[in-house]
Amino acid sequence: MAHRRVQFQLGVVLAFALARGFVAAAQTADQAWLPQHHGYLRTEIPYAVRALGPGLLERSAAQELFRGIEDLTAASSYLGDSNLNGQTIVGTAREVRTAFPKLEIPNDLGPDEYWFKQTQYKGRALLVVAGGDERGAIYGVFSLLRSVYLSETLLYAGHRERPAMPIRWVDEWDNPDGIVERGYAGRSIFFEGGNVRNDLAPVSEYARLLASVGINGVNVNNVNAAPQLLDADHIRQLARIADAMRPWGVRLALSVDVASPQKIGGLATYDPLDPSVRAWWTAKANEIFALIPDFAGFTVKADSEGQPGPASYGRTPADAANTLAAALEPHGGVVLYRAFVYNHHLDWRDPKADRARAAYDIFHPLDGKFAANVVVQIKEGPIDFQAEEPVSPLFAGLEKTNAAMELQITQEYTGQQRHLVYLAPMWKEVLDFDLRAEGRSTPVKEIIAGSSFKRTLGGMVGVASVGRDGWLGSPLALANLYAFGRLAWDPNLSPETIATEWTRQTVSTDPEVVGTVVKMLMQSWPAYVNYTGPLGMQTLTDITGSHYGPNIEASENNGWGQWHRADHLGVGMDRTVATGTGFVGQYPPDVARIYESLATTPDDLLTFFHHVPYTYKLHDGKTVIQYIYDSHYEGAEQAAELGREWATLEGKIDQKLYQDMHGRLVYQAGHAVVWRDAIVQYFLKLSGIPDEMGRAGHYPGRLEAEDAKLTGYKIIDVTPWEDASGGKAVACAEKSCTAEWTWHGPAGRFNIAVQYFDLQGGVAKFTLDINGHPAATWTADATLPSRRPNGDNSTRYTVHNLDLKHGDLLRIEGTPDCPDQAALDYIEVTPVPPQS
């Protein structure tokens, strides 16, 4: 086989052999978007690959290039003869110039920048990948392989790229015990039982995956930081993580608890201005850098959600940030100080209280007071990763301070990876949003890249919270991680382009498949907004608990401040300057003018900025209440459509992937109905205004469990009431229970959807039988939040194509498995459309 003849030099053979070792490990980067023996390409790439320098990163780059070429050509016996004499080299620009003095290469490549080109040198083919530094060489290799794989014609023309912003990090919210906060893909790849895991092969693979899209830093522990990670033993352990990621140019960062000097240092205080505290941090930084010379820096969550902070001593975030920054500065480290600082004990009766104001109120007055190696890390919206929020005004409020944008890749408020929600379109809206600071064009992407206010530092941080279960749990959720990296590298890319790239690398290159998957990805966020919280209401979920299923009042009457202020007359928070909380006034005047006026506020953010009656008319003349009904019916239908689109791919894509996503999308369609019904019946009851289309409160074919003939089952009230049809369900405290209905409809062929509650902690069993003949049996074995029946775990199982006639007996038997009481909400009998 031709590819066996590949020459490989400078010790890369060894690195390659090691790489194969971890490719064989359980969790690999190849499970995401990196090539997996496509082997179809007839490549002209010279297959003698070598790194010019001895550096670790360059070796990874050469190894990756070799692996990529081999992978792309594995099934091909063709390697053009001319290639036998050619070579592919990887190195820094300086090394390339020394090795090939006559070659014309750009002389101004910056950090992380790369250039590649296939040319002739002294009559032989030469493919050069040159980096402004070693990391640039790695990025160049990944970009080269991607462009070859995607058949872009960049090789001969030559191609040069540099990242838009220097900080491109992911944050992991991993606790030392192995639990990942807001992680939906299993346990930590970094920690277990209070320590760093022995097996760090997945960490190396993760770093490789991140490097392939240009991510250069990983903050490995939860921002609700565990101080013990800063003791000497743990720093030694953390150095192993840094070692595992270093070959890919990915640097380690750590979340720190600002009270560490007291909690683990034995000091009487953690006042950031106290000399003993400053000395403690300096010594700690020295200790870290002695073991991890390329340590990236600290992330800080302070004075927020119970975390200690400088406010305890009357000090400011700048005081705390600068103390840490001074300790890191001699070593080149940075402090990412989170602007997510707010009082979660707000007085909800106070119409002027407003959590959205907090970040700007606290940080804007400190503009210019932060050290040069401090970056203020600002969540994209003023609340907290909601399905839809306006852009944080703080991006425009820090002109003399470095800023980074924090967004969430893990889908805490956006379906927790059980729902397909491609977030790039939302992020892109934020990146492109023009805040018009100083009355000129200042889109967020330019502010965080540093160009708007001439800052040298800045960037994007994505909370990834990956785990051991396929990185993000759901295969299509990986498109979000990919998109994060691509946008941090180039925020001008379109979400659709990114989705296409990802799909072609991951799912298939078949244009029909690509078209379908990209369409699904692009539809998914608008669909989710439609069935969860439209018009700027935020995600109408259980905000003090799971952040998953519907729970509309959970936002109200508590100090957390995620209020939507819905009452029987209207909905929304008045945040105007004229009559509301004044939040609108935090935006630069050109933007504030738009949000201050009802007439110019875009519909999709209406209730974020204004309290309006349900009868208020949107720009197209539809009333708010009708929009609430319509968008929820439309959203649930869009969710069902995602499943139908995926179904067209059966047989055209990998069967395992097909099955996995099929199950998820069926579940999503069912859960979207739960969301739809909860919000629609809630607002119907609250407003008393009927749905013009007659759908709200009417469910054709629905047979409530509480109306059935029950044996063993007892009627229960579901909390919150809107999470069950009519607020009630039935639960079984016996060995088994039944609910029986008589079919009074016409004869025909039907689908029967059974809506039940799949509680945590037990695997209940259900059987549907018709006239005593079993039609289906299934188990409630999903892992969903909550041990009480509610919208977190309300689940739909549909039995298709059942022939029914008048008088038939439909019976569900539920067998509980403590604590899962095989609770049932309803069954819904729908005629099968004639064509199916």
Residues that bind ligand GCV (CB under 6 A): 173, 181-182, 222-224, 301, 305, 340, 384, 412
Catalytic residues: 305, 384, 412
In whole angstroms, the minimum distance from the beta carbon of 554 to ligand GCV comes to 13
Distance CA 23, CA 204 (A): 10
Report in angstroms the alpha-carbon separations of 128 from 67, 79, 119, 694.
16, 18, 8, 66
Among residues 301 and 811, whose Cβ is nearest to ligand GCV? 301
- Rank residues 143 and 551 by Cβ distance to ligand GCV and give the closer one: 551
> Residue 512 CB, nearest distance to ligand GCV (Å)?
40
For residue 759, give every residue at least 6 positions away whose Cβ sits within 8 Å of its Cβ, in sequence order, or none: 780, 784, 786, 787, 788, 789, 793, 819, 820, 821, 823
Q: Which amino acid is at 789?
A: P
Distance of closest approach, residue 536 Cβ to ligand GCV, in angstroms: 19
Of 222 and 687, nearer to ligand GCV (C-beta) is 222
Residue 545 or 701 with smaller CB distance to ligand GCV: 545
Cβ atoms within 10 Å, residue 559: 12
For β-strands 251-256 and 297-300, DSSP reports them as parallel
φ/ψ of residue 789, rounded to 5: -65, 125
> DSSP assignment of 382-430, as one string?
SSSS-SS-PPPTHHHH-SSSEEEEEEESS-TTTTTTTS----HHHHHHH
Q: How far is the CB of 235 from ligand GCV (least distance, A)?
A: 22
C-alpha Rg value of the chain to the nearest Å: 28
Question: Please, what is the minimum distance in Å from the beta carbon of residue 223 to ligand GCV?
Answer: 5
CB nearer ligand GCV, residue 408 or residue 668: 408
Going from the C-alpha of 755 to that of each of 673, 710, 825, the distances in angstroms are: 10, 16, 5
Query: Which bin fits 428, alpha (ψ -120 to 50), beta or left (φ > 0)?
Result: alpha
Least Å from the CB of residue 311 to ligand GCV: 16
By beta-carbon proximity to ligand GCV, the closer residue of 28 and 562 is 562
CB 431 within 8 A of CB 491: yes
Work out the burial of residue 2: count CB atoms within 10 Å of its CB; fewer than 13 is exposed, 13-18 middle, 19 or more buried: middle
| In the complex, minimum distance from the CB of residue 581 to ligand GCV, in angstroms, rounded to a whole number | 20
Nearer to ligand GCV, 181 or 231 (CB): 181
| Closest distance to ligand GCV from the beta carbon of 423 (Å) | 16
Spatial separation of the C-alpha atoms in residues 294 and 329, rounded to whole Å: 12
Q: How far apart are alpha carbons 695 and 701 in whole angstroms?
A: 13
Q: Which residues of 536-665 form beta strands (DSSP E)?
A: 570-571, 612-613
Q: What is the Cα–Cα distance from 160 to 113, expressed in whole angstroms?
A: 8
Distance CA(257)–CA(260), nearest Å, equals 5
Q: Which is nearer to ligand GCV, 54 or 306 (CB)?
A: 306
What span, in angstroms and rounded, lies between the C-alpha atoms of 213 and 793?
Answer: 35
H-helix or E-strand spanning residue 643: helix 624-647
